Amino acid sequence: MKHKAVLRVSSKLLMPPIMLFALYVQFHGDFGPGGGFQAGVIFASAFILYALLFGVNQARRVAPAGVIRTTLALGVLLYAGTGVVGLLLGGNYLNYSVLAHDQVHGQHLGILIIEFGVGMTVASAMITIFFIFAGRGRDERGE
Amino acid sequence: MAVIGLAYIFLRNLFAVVMLSGMFSLTAAVLYVVMDAVDVAFTEAAVGAGIATVLGLATLGLIGVVNEKPSKRSFLGPFLVVLVTGAVLINATLDMPDFGDPNAPIHHHVAPRYIEDSGREIGVPNIVTSILASYRGYDTLGEVTVIFTAACGVLVLLGRTRRRKPHGQETGDRETASGDGEAAK
């Protein structure tokens, strides 16, 4: 893919809007269709586009495996941890009403946090799986 | 969708099959939009048509594009199994209430409570989000854990970086074989 100038330039232009759209879907999930799952997938697709054009090795440098694995676990931890915080504040597990003074505010906050956790985990999982699948074929061809 | 499904069976080129599966998902997403399930359609378009197709292509790159040879075995047994299962499933759908029937059981269980009270209790305009994230928080936590586990499984099976020792090639191949065996189970 060294010489596909048009593809490289146009996808470079596309990548920021893809990520921005992912964040919009992530944080606008309360008001329109969308949420953590969809946002995570869209966010991951930006990285996958990068990896397709510039090679998996280059993309690995942008998103190191250690960081991706950390966010992979951190997303689940954020979700489950929100539940535990609710437990500590005197509510049931995963009851967000106790997170703020107002019940509705608490629910808003809880949903925002856990959706962010979902998005983190989904994005990291998709990136991990793609990098491993794509990177493995490269190894075996002896590059 | 039925045409795409039939094409699945008769095509022998795996590349075309991967592309068809993407088209199938996109058609399904359009169907969901028509049925007013925008959230589901969004997920189907992003995951089914987008990521699944890319992953299928990556897998093809891994194993090489193969034109599968038509198998010589008789297809009568599997065909019978499919026929019987399909007949049972279609028979089961006959008992289902009509689409959009307000007297269907599903509209009398918890749905009215969600629709009436979620605005006051959760205060989020999108009821789907409030059900997924708050009322059904445990289920969504489970789903996230499933995805986490899937990524961990891929990491464990395929993700180890192989060290290139002088005779490391064979050990690497043996690891692959055992890994595939576990995946098959």
Task: Judge whether residue B61 has pLDDT over 80.
Answer: no
CB contact under 8 A, B129 and A35: yes
**pLDDT band with cut points at 50, 70 and 90 for residue B88:** very high
Query: Is residue B14 a contact partner of residue B66, using CB atoms and an 8 Å limit?
Result: yes
Task: Judge whether residue A115 has pLDDT over 80.
Answer: yes
> What is residue B123's predicted lDDT score, i.e. its pLDDT?
67
Find chain B residues with C-beta within 8 A of A46's C-beta. none
Find chain A residues with C-beta within 8 A of B124's C-beta. 30-31, 107-108, 111
Task: Judge whether residue A75 has pLDDT over 70.
Answer: yes
Ordered DSSP codes for A63-130: S-HHHHHHHHHHHHHHHHHHHHHHHHTTS-TT-GGGGSSSHHHHHHHHHHHHHHHHHHHHHHHHHHHH
Task: Judge whether residue A128 has pLDDT over 70.
Answer: yes
CB contact under 8 A, A33 and B144: no
CA terminus-to-terminus distance, chain A: 15
CA distance B13 to chain A (A): 20
Task: Judge whether residue B96 has pLDDT over 50.
Answer: yes
pLDDT above 70: percentage of residues in chain B: 69
Location of structure tokens 């944080």: A27
Find chain A residues with C-beta within 8 A of B121's C-beta. 103-104, 107
Look at residues A119, A105, A107 and name the one whose alpha carbon lies nearest to residue A34: A119
ipTM of this model?
0.75
Residue B154 is nearest to which of A25, A111, A128, comparing CB atoms? A128
pLDDT in tens, B4-52: 777 777 777 778 888 888 888 888 888 888 887 888 888 888 888 888 8
Residue B70 CB neighbours (<10 A): 8
Find chain B residues with C-beta within 8 A of A108's C-beta. 122-124
Residue B147: partners with Cβ closer than 8 Å, 6 or more residues away = A121, A122, A125
How high is the mean pLDDT of chain A? 80
Residue A133 is nearest to which of B58, B123, B125, comparing CB atoms? B58
> What is residue B20's predicted lDDT score, i.e. its pLDDT?
85
Give the amino acid at B138.
Answer: Y
